[in-house]
């Protein structure tokens, strides 16, 4: 009889465990039935890489011409012009131009920009994965280049200083020349003996001539 009771208690415990597990399964089934799954599929396009980029600060003799030259570089390499701005304040021109070129032409674009003026600042980032032979870059212009331009010293400002100073210098030289000319003419008119003008007789000579006559 005691063994029967033990078996009955064990069966009760097992039945409780089964019911508990069944309840958890029912709960999970209801959760799955009400869930939404989102799946996105992409066609593989090679390794993901970071494009190279560059930024410059240049002094240019003509800011407007330099901006036009940067835009021509982008057009020649099938790139894009993202921004182009020129401002003039107190007679001094400043400009900003941003372009994008294909990665394969990035080095050519950088070399062309460097020839447009005197480099004040230069930052070049090679990007990530640029040396990966399996990376597929494509022909999209995704390598950005930013150029900040300002009027170069020694251009218009220098000519303005020359235009202001040169008349003053020439005027001073002309005045010195006139004074020297007048001084030389005065020296030519003065007699060697320190008397009156050349060819004239002084009082002593007149008196001697009078005594001889007498």
Q: Clarify whether residues 130 and 159 are in a common domain.
A: no
pLDDT at 54 (0 to 100): 94
Count Cβ neighbours within 10 Å for each residue of 178-214 and write b for 16 or more, e otherwise: eeeeeeeeeeeeeeeeeeeeeeeeeeeeeeeeeeeee
Q: Report the distance separating Cα 50 and Cα 27, nearest Å.
A: 46
Q: Clarify whether residues 88 and 162 are in a common domain.
A: no
Residue closest to 104 by CA, chosen among 141, 56, 146, 144: 141
Q: Clarify whether residues 145 and 84 are in a common domain.
A: yes
pLDDT at 204 (0 to 100): 46
Phi, psi dihedrals of residue 104, rounded to the nearest 5° = -65, -20
> Residue 63 in contact with residue 85, Cβ under 8 Å?
no
> Residue 95 in contact with residue 149, Cβ under 8 Å?
yes
Total tally of structural domains belonging to the chain:
2
pLDDT at 145 (0 to 100): 95
Q: Clarify whether residues 120 and 170 are in a common domain.
A: no
pLDDT at 98 (0 to 100): 95
pLDDT at 2 (0 to 100): 77
With respect to residue 35, please indicate whether it lies within any of the assigned structural domains: no
| Ranges of the chain whose pLDDT falls below 70 | 35, 43-48, 128-138, 154-173, 175-176, 179, 182, 185-214
Residue spans of alpha helices (H) in 43-117: 63-76, 106-114
With respect to residue 63, please indicate whether it lies within any of the assigned structural domains: yes
Whole-prediction pTM: 0.49
With respect to residue 97, please indicate whether it lies within any of the assigned structural domains: yes
Give the pairing type, strands 92-101 and 80-89: antiparallel
pLDDT at 209 (0 to 100): 45
pLDDT at 113 (0 to 100): 94
Q: HSE, CB side, 13 Å, CA atoms: give it for residue 40.
A: 2
Query: Which residues are bridge partners to 84 per DSSP?
Result: 97
Q: Clarify whether residues 73 and 143 are in a common domain.
A: yes
Q: Clarify whether residues 64 and 131 are in a common domain.
A: yes
Q: Clarify whether residues 60 and 146 are in a common domain.
A: yes
Q: Clarify whether residues 87 and 110 are in a common domain.
A: yes
Q: Where do we find the tokens 């008397």? A: 195
Domain, as residue range, for 162: 153-183
Q: Clarify whether residues 112 and 70 are in a common domain.
A: yes
Q: Clarify whether residues 118 and 96 are in a common domain.
A: yes
With respect to residue 146, please indicate whether it lies within any of the assigned structural domains: yes
Q: Clarify whether residues 148 and 158 are in a common domain.
A: no
Q: State which of 130, 152, 174 marks the end of a domain.
A: 152
Tokens of 15: 């039945």
Q: Report the distance separating Cα 163 and Cα 169, nearest Å.
A: 11
């Amino acid at each position: 009889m005691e063994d029967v009771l033990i078996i009955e208690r064990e069966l009760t415990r097992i039945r409780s465990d089964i019911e508990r597990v069944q309840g958890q399964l029912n709960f999970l089934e209801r959760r799955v039935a009400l869930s939404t799954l989102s799946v996105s599929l992409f066609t593989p396009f090679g390794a993901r890489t970071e494009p190279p980029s560059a930024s410059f600060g240049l002094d240019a003799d003509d800011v407007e011409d330099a901006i036009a030259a940067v835009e021509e570089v982008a057009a020649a390499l099938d790139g894009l012009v993202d921004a182009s701005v020129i401002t003039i304040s107190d007679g001094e021109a400043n400009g900003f131009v941003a372009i994008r070129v294909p990665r394969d032409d990035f080095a050519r674009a950088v070399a062309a920009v460097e020839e447009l003026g005197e480099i004040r600042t230069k930052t070049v980032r090679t990007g990530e994965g640029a040396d990966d032979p399996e990376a597929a870059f494509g022909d999209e212009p995704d390598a950005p280049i930013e150029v900040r331009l300002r009027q170069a010293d020694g251009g218009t400002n220098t000519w303005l200083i020359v235009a202001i100073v040169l008349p003053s210098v020439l005027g001073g030289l002309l005045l010195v020349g006139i004074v020297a000319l007048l001084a030389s003419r005065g020296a030519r008119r003065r007699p060697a003996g320190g008397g009156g003008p050349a060819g004239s007789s002084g009082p002593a000579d007149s008196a001697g001539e009078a005594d001889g006559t007498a």
